[in-house]
Structure formats: C-alpha cells, structure tokens
Structure 1
Amino acid sequence: MRLRRLLVVPLAVTGLIAATGVPAQATYYSGGMPSRTFNYKTVGINSTWVAFYDTGNIRWNQRVNSHIGRSTSAAADATAGSYSQSWYGQYTPHGVRGVNRTFSIKVNSRTLQASAGSNYTAWITSTVTHEIGHALSLDDNPNTTQASLMKHSRNRTTSQLPTAYDISEVERIY
C-alpha cells in the first residue's frame, strides 16, 4: 500500500504540471473549411474591394501553405457594403464541414470608416484577412497572451498579417 502511494503522488503531480504547463491554443472553429485549399467568389463589389480580398488571400497563402483563391464558379462568397449594424466583418459558414461546406464573408465599410479615421485601408485589410482566418478554422479571441490577428482587441492599424501564433494554429488544425 505504501509503495502504491509513493507512485500515485508523483504521477498526480506530473499530470498536474503537464496540464498547466501546456501553452494556450486557439479555440478550434468548426465553421472552417475542411482543408487549406478553397475558392470563393466576390459578389457586388468593385475592383478596389476585390483587391483587398486578394491581399487577404496572399497573406494567408504565403504564411500557411494554403491555396485560397477566387473563382466565379465557387459556392462560397465574399462582399462588402454599408450595413447598419456595428460589426466590422462577419463570417457565416454554410453546410457540413467536409461534405458541402461553403461560407459567406461580409465586411462593413460603414463601421470601418467610422472607426478607422485615416487608417481606413489598414483596417479593411486587417478585417478581410481576419475573416478569411475563420475559413481556416480559427476562432475569434483565442485564449493566448501572444499576438493574434484573430483577436478583436488587436490594433487594426498595425495587425494586418497572420502572426506566428495564427500560423502555428492553422498548422496544428490541418
């Protein structure tokens, strides 16, 4: 019995240390696409807005070995407009992951313009790239002290690229 207690206590302490010593990881977002390769179409926006989406694609493609692109025949779609609500961007998944998953992204130019001041372009880029991050299965506000493009509290003027943390989380998920 004494030998059992001597073994159980160190194992319990080791388990406690292991459980508390693991770095925080983003909350996996089940609304993402089943792989890092997908297309979407842009709908009802001009070439300036299309360029913002292309920039977001490039920023992810160059950092996480993804293949995100635009195709007029894609089921998923992305747009921008002046919406009366106060959100900056909105990602909405449709269908079942792995079967028929698509999504819609909306970016709210009205709220961005009202909040960004002279940094409007930077805020659009940050928002578009953030929303595409949801398609890569990253959730909002990950539980980490590290910098993340997925945090709502990020500085949208300077945070426009996926961070090392975001990249490691996409690599962990896929």
Structure 2
Amino acid sequence: MKRFICAVLIFTLLLSANVVFANTDPDWGSQSPNINVPPITYNNTWKTPMEAAASAWNGTATLVTVGTLSSSKNSLIVSSYSDTWYGNSSSANPGPFTIKLNSRTINRDATDFANFVQSVLVHEYGHEFCLDHTSQTSIMNDSRNRNTMKVPQPYDVSEVNTVYN
C-alpha cells in the first residue's frame, strides 16, 4: 500500500511540476552558443530557405549564432531517405554534428516549400543549441505547422538563453 501511495504522490508531483525542455545532457548539443556550418552548395530552391534558417536564429534576441565557415567539420545534408522524418540531428560533444533534411518527406508534405524547409532546419539547429521537443508554442514542437512557423518563438528564445546564460 505504501508503494502505491508513493507512486501516486510522485505521479502527482510530476504532473504539477514545471517541466524544462532544454536538454541538459552534456554529451548532446553544442557547448558553444556559436556554431558554424559549411557554405550551402545546393541549388537556390534549397539554399535560400537553408540560409534563412541560420538568419532566423541570428535575428533573435538569443545568445546563439549560426555562421558559415568553409573549414567547418559539421555537415548539412539534403537527400531522400526512406524514413518518415523531415529532419534529423546527430551530435556529440565535442562535435562535429550532422543535420540531415529528408527531401522525400519534405517534397511530399510541404505546401509552402521554402517555409517548410526553413522550419525544419531551424528546428534541427534548435537541437544543436540543446533544445528538446516540447508541447509549447515553439519551433521545437513536432506538431507545429511547418508551412507557417519558420522562426524561433519566444519560448525557444527563453530556453536557449537559459542554456547559454
């Protein structure tokens, strides 16, 4: 009976707690608030929204930046994958990191291609800045409308600043 009561109490506490969605795993994400990617060499259909994704983070009141550096060991890859995801980040501290965009699913589901690509890449950069998925109004919400939400939201800005402050 004591175990049941303890379980109920823990469950109640978890439900009422403020959950922080910043990833505190020291082996994931960038230790630095400044990341660099190689110059984007894809055609303008992909290049323009991919560059806009970096500008979206750089244009916020955050402590983070996404830069371009030809000698960067990080990777941005656009390819057709059989998986169902739109974007995928793999990272370990220290880097390098790889971000993949799935052209198959993006082309299939986007009604506003440029916005969709930008949204997916801004989200993946969020992972590199130690953010995790959330149910908040956020670029990190997997249920967001990728055709319309393409920049970090106030929640994202707050979370990133918490990570690097």
**Shorter-normalised TM range:** 0.7 to 0.9
Q: Does residue 1:128 correspond to 2:121, yes or no? A: yes
* Corresponding residue for residue 3 of structure 1: none
1:35-74 superposed matches below 5 A: 35-42=32-39, 45-63=42-60, 64-74=62-72
> SS of the residue aligned with 1:106?
strand
Larger helix proportion of the pair: 1
Q: Tell me the distance in 2 between the aligned counterparts of 1:84 and 1:154.
A: 22
Identity score, percent: 31
Alpha-carbon separation, structure 2, partners of 1:101 and 1:129: 18
Partner of 1:163: 153
Shift of 1:47: 4.0
Note if 1:139 corresponds to 2:132: yes
**In 1, are the aligned partners of 2:36 and 2:74 still within 8 Å (CA)?**
yes
Q: How many residues align?
A: 149
Partner of 1:76: 74
Rg (Cα) greater in structure: 1
TM-score (norm 1): 0.76
What is the TM-score with the length of structure 2 in the denominator? 0.80
CA separation in 2, counterparts of 1:148 and 1:39?
23
1:74 and 1:80 mapped to 2: Cα distance?
Answer: 17
Which ranges of structure 2 fall in alignment gaps of 5 or more residues?
1-13
Query: Residue in 2 aligned with 1:107?
Result: 101
Given that 1:42 and 1:79 are in contact with CA atoms closer than 8 Å, whether structure 2 keeps it comes out as no
Cα distance in 2 between the residues matched to 1:62 and 1:120: 21
Amino acid at match of 1:129: V
